[in-house]
Amino acid sequence: MDSVSGSRIAEMQGNIALSHIARRDIQNRKLRRLNRELTKKISNLEDTVRTYREMYIRQIAEMDNFMKAKEREMENISRNASRELIKQMLPFVDSMDAAIKTENSDGIRTLKDQLLKILSPYGFKEIETIGRKFDPYLHEAIGMVESDEDGLVLEEMQKGYTLNGEVLRTSKVIVGKGRK
């Protein structure tokens, strides 16, 4: 082999090596670009998943709040469904009280006690009055008399009632006014 062809072969081998290195360099650049693109797509997909997860959690919370609100609404409806019926029964209860006062009948008193026992599970209660401190939320003063105890309810003229802790009708009472 002559020196020209030997140097030519060496040059060609060098070119092949450079070509191979250049191809590897191009492939590495393409792989890095592809890696960046894939990393960006993965990041975007992770953001999308995070967004949908947050939306899902919010929807569950909204549904839970909606269900709780509906439960409260149904409880209020059921608790107060009897309110109008019981209100319409108050004149009947008043008539029973009047009959008990005038006739002092044990039969009527028994009937009234039975009626109150039937209504009590629905939250119906008589307002306590006599001997209690006057409370404008529970009592309506229709008169005052001089007394040793100022502001104490002395007499009940008409019974008052609550339904589920809310005043259905105030008690009409006579209140003691301290002597001067």
Instruction: List pLDDT tens digits, range 53-91.
Output: 999 999 999 999 999 999 999 888 877 777 888 888 899
Nearest to 159 by CA among 132, 115, 126, 136: 126
- The confidence score (pLDDT) of residue 78 equals 76
Is there a single domain that holds both residue 87 and residue 148?
Answer: yes
How does DSSP classify residue 135?
A: -
Q: Is the dihedral of CA 159, 100, 106, 154 positive or negative?
A: positive
Domain total in the chain: 2
Residues 145 and 110 in one domain: yes
Distance CA 145, CA 174 (A): 7
Q: Are residues 123 and 71 located together in one domain of the fold?
A: no
Token output for 164:
């589920």
> Is the Cβ–Cβ distance between 175 and 134 less than 8 Å?
yes
d(CA 171, CA 169) in angstroms, rounded, equals 7
Q: Can you tell me the distance from the alpha carbon of 41 to that of 45, in angstroms, rounded to the nearest whole number?
A: 6
Res 153: pLDDT: 93
Are 166 and 134 part of one and the same domain? yes
State whether 37 and 116 are in the same domain: no
Give helix 106-119 / helix 83-103 axis angle, nearest 10°.
Answer: 160
Task: Decide which of 27, 57, 81 is a domain's last residue.
Answer: 81
Host domain of residue 42: 1-81
Q: Are residues 103 and 169 in the same domain?
A: yes
Are residues 63 and 6 both part of a single domain? yes
Whole-angstrom Cα distance, residue 81 to residue 89? Answer: 14
- 94 with 173, same domain: the answer is yes
pTM, two decimals, is 0.58
Domain CATH for 126:
2.30.22.10
pLDDT at residue 3 above 70?
Answer: no
Query: What confidence category does residue 6 fall into, taking pLDDT thresholds of 50, 70 and 90?
Result: low
Rounded CA-CA distance 180/34 in Å is 100
Please, which residues have CB within 8 angstroms of residue 162's CB and are 6 or more apart in sequence? 123, 124, 125, 127, 138, 168
Residues 102 and 161 in one domain: yes
- The per-residue pLDDT for range 12-53, each reduced to its tens digit, is 776 776 677 777 888 888 899 999 999 999 999 999 999 999
